[in-house]
Chains A and B, each alone.
Chain A
Amino acid sequence: MDTRLLQAAIRFGLGPRPDQPLPSDPLAWLDAQLAGDDIAPPPPEGFEKAPDVAEGYRIWREHSEASRAMRAPRDAVLALYRAEAASALGWRIDTPAPFRERLVDFWSNHFTVSRRAGHAVASVQGAYVREAIRPHVTGRFADMLVAVIKHPAMLSYLDQASSIGPNSPAGRKRGRGLNENLARELLELHTLSPAAGYTQADVVQCARLLTGWGIERSKEPVGAVFRPANHEPGPKTVLGRQFEEGPEAAEALLRFLADHPATQQHLATKLVRHFVADDPPPEAVSRIAAVLRDTGGDLRAVAMALPRLPGAWEPPLGKLRSPVDLVTATFRAGGASGADAGTAAYSACALLNQPFWAAPQPNGWPDEASGWLGPEAAMQRLDWIYDAAGRLGRLDPGQVLEASLGPLAPQETHDAVRRAGSMREALALIFASPEFQRR
């Protein structure tokens, strides 16, 4: 059997499912996932349709009022966040288009917002991924960047809503000033990266340019809003380019940054590290950067180029699965499905120290094995695997091994599974094997 059939499902997907036949042509299978419209996860449990930003804020407001009146039996915002996370994780377990979900993950992590910032983010986190990330994973990077930076979740997470031009009417009246957080992370993490050599002055100019952008939470239309009274007057110069005063400057800056060669290099490096190797081969990075440049940032073209990179399939299983991906692949291999699987995955991710949508810092989760392989972390994986193997119901370990690893499993793994004393032990040994823990 051609190992590339399995590899496509493992390296570029989320692991095989027994009820989803392996593709006959790996590249065609991957391409097909990028061709159609996005299939979003089902609405979170308890909702008829997926809640938008206005609905998230409504739930937050009602919870705050109930809390003040000492009538809040549970944290409704946290409940919303958990239901959203369970729905998204459940969909990763079920989806027939796992390559697409991997791209959603990649870009959600690139543009991290985290529940740890509190209710202002937790109330709109599902909406953020649906509105700012998912529509653009096969679209243009510049459009995703604009959607992300102007999304209330990001404006909250990186404190943009409280950054005020010191010479704006509001700044002069109230003696308020800039908050550099979003401006700095925009340059450092989202676009150029420090390798571009921008300066503190660029960060400040960028922060001045972004002033005025904030959030309207209480009256229609709810969402991002430009408040002229907070906007720093005058033109701003970022990386030698001048931008005029006013609300249009933000989008002009974002499109300028999106197309910058340093951004293309930064994105290419991260994409190749995520899909190919912890140490991204320079020629692969150059090729992806060239696709970004030649197509004007077409992320579908980029996604199609990734599995066509020389070295994209060699060596097999070169990357370590992150905790979220290990959990997802385990549930997929065991044939788990639906909201219950999503809820179990939510708990598992927290247990393995990668709580979903809750990265500790704006640079997101690490994408290298060293970030996940402390000795205790490696032991916690084994513990969780054993626990999960006991909850998957009746399965034939021989079939699970064949479907999930096939020819990629060495004789040693086959022998260990065959000699196991129980179904649970056999499954635990499959999921603990070095081949299954990698992709």
Chain B
Amino acid sequence: MSHLPKIGRRGLLLGLTATAATAQARLAFAGAASAGAEESRLVVIILRGAMDGLAALAPYGDPAYREVRGGLALPEPGQEGGLLDCGGFFGLNPQLSTLHRFFLEGTLLPIHAVAGPYRNRSHFEAQDLLESGAAERLGSGWLNRALAGLPAPPPGKPEAGLAVGFDLPLLMRGPQHVGMWAPPRPVRPAPDLYARMADLLHADPLLGPAVADGMRARGYAATVLGEERGARNGFVALASAAGKLLAAPAGPRVAAMELGGWDTHADQSRRLGPVLGQLDAGIGAMQDQLGAAWSKTAVLVMTEFGRTVRINGANGTDHGTGGVAFLLGGAVAGGRVLADWPGLAEGQLFEKRDLQPTRDLRAIAKALLRDHLRLPAAAVAAAFPDSGNITPEKDVFRA
């Protein structure tokens, strides 16, 4: 028998209606529900499929850039369809105009030539390790383990926030209870039948806890999102819902989302634009919904690895190593590019093909937990085990 309490039949708040999700875009929330408006918010966005860092943030000042990128090289800043300048050496992809506005405002910190410790170019292993936060695949994600360092929610409040989307990413799986939010279905059982279903399931070690969390999460989300119906769908709508739920005074503090479609092996110049545009518009919508809470928000955008420096046979790029991550939000001390640029010339590449990683993504993630969420050292260490040699990046947040 399970030790979990049965869900009471009273007090279930159901009947949520809100915006839509797509299978490519998912969102999961977590965190103590006691967050006040003054408390820090964290969003982690996983870009599944490996975003081409050299296309997202092009090193147009590197003498080898045009030669190695060939048909994928973008025009210099100021030219038609040109890059959006970030300090005279790097330029953002023209699809990332919102991110460029953040850069000019000093709230975007791109990190280039960055990677985790993994070097083998498998999407699936790399995603697992990116989310596990360890050198081997763990059953829980680093963000879930970090949540143990947040204060417990008061009684009667949802124990562990919410989720938007259908799947819980590994990043957010683990011992800490995490809620989820997804767009509603037209037909739903009455609360009493939900309760009887939950009674039947409560002793099941897998289904019992999931349904218990799901019931709480829906009740919570219904009170925040009300009856609003979003006109847009997909990632932009999810990001907007995330912003709104995070902005609520007693809302979750930590959210995880994902966006797929980055595995551009062929015809990259045509395929990458729309997905970059979705990312950019989604983050813009999230900022709109966060309102005043934006100033306390940090968003980490990360992908499993970068892509090959040279174009492949199909005007695309293959799996690579070093890539780009973005840290952004009102809490971020940005307006500069964080990079020890390794160069794109033949002798400067990793295994003669990939951007050489010169920074470890864990240094950024650990800084997020330590300096932004102000988690105790034990929680940071639990999030990233065996990483004592990786020092959290300094001075990436506003005092």
- Give the B-binding residues of A (Cβ under 8 A): 158-159, 162-164, 166, 171, 176-181, 184, 188-189, 194, 200, 203, 320, 351-353, 355, 358, 360-363, 369-380, 382-384, 386-387, 390, 412-413, 416, 420, 425, 428-429, 432-434, 437
Interface contact B207-A437, CB-CB below 8 Å? yes
Return A110 CB to nearest CB of chain B, in Å.
Answer: 14
Interface contact A382-B313, CB-CB below 8 Å? no
8 tightest A-B CB contacts, nearest first:
A162-B314, A374-B168, A375-B214, A376-B180, A375-B213, A378-B210, A379-B214, A434-B204
Which residues of chain B have C-beta atoms less than 8 A from A171's C-beta? 313
Interface contact A162-B319, CB-CB below 8 Å? no
Return A228 CB to nearest CB of chain B, in Å.
Answer: 16
Interface contact B312-A376, CB-CB below 8 Å? no
Return A384 CB to nearest CB of chain B, in Å.
Answer: 7
- CB < 8 Å neighbour of A200 from B48, B121, B217, B313: B121
- CB < 8 Å neighbour of B24 from A180, A360, A382: A360
> Which single residue of chain B is at the shortest CB-CB distance from A171?
B313
- Please report which residues of chain B, range 146-190, place their CB below 8 angstroms from some CB of chain A when the two chains form the complex: 163-168, 173, 178-182, 185, 187-189
- CB < 8 Å neighbour of A383 from B122, B185, B260, B263: B185
Question: Which of A163, A360, A378, A390 gathers most chain B CB within 10 Å?
Answer: A378
Interface contact B185-A387, CB-CB below 8 Å? yes
Interface contact A416-B206, CB-CB below 8 Å? no
CA A282 to CA B351, docked complex, whole Å: 36
CA A12 to CA B318, docked complex, whole Å: 39
Which residues of chain B have C-beta atoms less than 8 A from A158's C-beta? 265
Return A373 CB to nearest CB of chain B, in Å.
Answer: 5
Assess whether B123 is interfacial by the CB under 8 Å rule.
yes
Interface contact A363-B166, CB-CB below 8 Å? no
- Looking at B194-202, B227-235, B341-349, the stretch in contact with chain A turns out to be B194-202
Assess whether B223 is interfacial by the CB under 8 Å rule.
no
Which residues of chain B have C-beta atoms less than 8 A from A373's C-beta? 168, 206-207, 210
> Which single residue of chain B is at the shortest CB-CB distance from A386?
B189
Interface contact A375-B178, CB-CB below 8 Å? yes
Which residues of chain B have C-beta atoms less than 8 A from A412's C-beta? 200
Assess whether B89 is interfacial by the CB under 8 Å rule.
no
Interface contact A374-B197, CB-CB below 8 Å? no
Return A85 CB to nearest CB of chain B, in Å.
Answer: 15
CA A372 to CA B211, docked complex, whole Å: 12
> Which single residue of chain B is at the shortest CB-CB distance from A436?
B200
Known: A162-B314, A360-B24, A378-B211. A383 touches B188 (CB 8 A): yes
Pick 26 A–B contacts, CB within 8 A, sort by A. A159-B314, A163-B314, A176-B314, A179-B313, A180-B312, A184-B121, A352-B166, A353-B23, A360-B23, A360-B260, A361-B48, A374-B166, A374-B167, A374-B168, A375-B211, A376-B164, A376-B214, A377-B166, A378-B207, A378-B214, A379-B218, A380-B166, A382-B189, A383-B188, A386-B193, A412-B200
Interface contact B124-A363, CB-CB below 8 Å? yes
Interface contact B207-A179, CB-CB below 8 Å? no
Which residues of chain A have C-beta atoms less than 8 A from B188's C-beta? 383, 386
Which residues of chain A have C-beta atoms less than 8 A from B193's C-beta? 386, 425, 428-429
Interface contact A434-B203, CB-CB below 8 Å? yes
Interface contact B166-A159, CB-CB below 8 Å? no
Which residues of chain A have C-beta atoms less than 8 A from B199's C-beta? 416
Interface contact B207-A386, CB-CB below 8 Å? no
- CB < 8 Å neighbour of B201 from A374, A375, A434: A434
Assess whether B316 is interfacial by the CB under 8 Å rule.
yes
CA A387 to CA B193, docked complex, whole Å: 13
Which residues of chain A have C-beta atoms less than 8 A from B316's C-beta? 159, 162, 179
Known: A380-B166, A433-B200. A178 touches B312 (CB 8 A): yes
Known: A159-B316, A434-B203. A374 touches B180 (CB 8 A): yes
Which residues of chain B have C-beta atoms less than 8 A from A379's C-beta? 182, 211, 214-215, 218
Return A273 CB to nearest CB of chain B, in Å.
Answer: 15
- CB < 8 Å neighbour of B194 from A166, A382, A434: A382
CA A371 to CA B139, docked complex, whole Å: 11
CA A92 to CA B265, docked complex, whole Å: 34
> Which single residue of chain B is at the shortest CB-CB distance from A166?
B313
- CB < 8 Å neighbour of A355 from B23, B200, B265, B266: B23
Interface string of B290-326 (1 = CB under 8 A from A): 0000000000000000000011111010110000000
Return A64 CB to nearest CB of chain B, in Å.
Answer: 16
- Please report which residues of chain B, range 205-248, place their CB below 8 angstroms from some CB of chain A when the two chains form the complex: 206-208, 210-215, 217-218
> Which single residue of chain B is at the shortest CB-CB distance from A211?
B313
5 new A-B contacts, CB < 8 A, other than A180-B312, A200-B351, A382-B197, are A179-B314, A361-B49, A376-B165, A380-B166, A429-B200
CA A172 to CA B75, docked complex, whole Å: 27
Which residues of chain A have C-beta atoms less than 8 A from B265's C-beta? 158-159, 179-181
CA A158 to CA B313, docked complex, whole Å: 13
> Which single residue of chain B is at the shortest CB-CB distance from A432?
B197
Return B50 CB to nearest CB of chain A, in Å.
Answer: 11
Known: A181-B318, A375-B168. A387 touches B214 (CB 8 A): no
Which residues of chain A have C-beta atoms less than 8 A from B369's C-beta? none
Which residues of chain B have C-beta atoms less than 8 A from A181's C-beta? 265, 318
> Which single residue of chain B is at the shortest CB-CB distance from A170?
B313
Return A206 CB to nearest CB of chain B, in Å.
Answer: 13
Interface contact B28-A374, CB-CB below 8 Å? yes
Return B15 CB to nearest CB of chain A, in Å.
Answer: 12
> Which single residue of chain B is at the shortest CB-CB distance from A388?
B187
Assess whether B120 is interfacial by the CB under 8 Å rule.
yes
Return A154 CB to nearest CB of chain B, in Å.
Answer: 14
Which residues of chain A have C-beta atoms less than 8 A from B217's C-beta? 375-376
Which residues of chain A have C-beta atoms less than 8 A from B212's C-beta? 375
Return B209 CB to nearest CB of chain A, in Å.
Answer: 8
CA A180 to CA B121, docked complex, whole Å: 11
Interface contact A369-B206, CB-CB below 8 Å? yes
- Please report which residues of chain B, range 330-379, place their CB below 8 angstroms from some CB of chain A when the two chains form the complex: 351
> Which single residue of chain B is at the shortest CB-CB distance from A361?
B123
Which residues of chain A have C-beta atoms less than 8 A from B351's C-beta? 200
Assess whether B386 is interfacial by the CB under 8 Å rule.
no
Return B257 CB to nearest CB of chain A, in Å.
Answer: 13
Interface contact B313-A164, CB-CB below 8 Å? yes
Interface contact A179-B266, CB-CB below 8 Å? yes
Which residues of chain B have C-beta atoms less than 8 A from A378's C-beta? 207, 210-211, 214
Return A189 CB to nearest CB of chain B, in Å.
Answer: 8
CA A176 to CA B342, docked complex, whole Å: 26
- CB < 8 Å neighbour of B187 from A184, A387, A437: A387
Known: A380-B185, A437-B207. A163 touches B313 (CB 8 A): yes
Interface contact A390-B197, CB-CB below 8 Å? no
Assess whether B39 is interfacial by the CB under 8 Å rule.
no
Return B22 CB to nearest CB of chain A, in Å.
Answer: 10
Return A306 CB to nearest CB of chain B, in Å.
Answer: 23
Interface contact A429-B312, CB-CB below 8 Å? no
Return B118 CB to nearest CB of chain A, in Å.
Answer: 11
Which residues of chain A have C-beta atoms less than 8 A from B194's C-beta? 382
Interface contact A376-B189, CB-CB below 8 Å? no
CA A425 to CA B191, docked complex, whole Å: 12
CA A351 to CA B121, docked complex, whole Å: 32
Assess whether B62 is interfacial by the CB under 8 Å rule.
no
CA A166 to CA B313, docked complex, whole Å: 8
CA A162 to CA B313, docked complex, whole Å: 6
Return A286 CB to nearest CB of chain B, in Å.
Answer: 22
CA A413 to CA B120, docked complex, whole Å: 49
Return A231 CB to nearest CB of chain B, in Å.
Answer: 12
CA A361 to CA B125, docked complex, whole Å: 13
- CB < 8 Å neighbour of B319 from A177, A180, A353, A429: A180
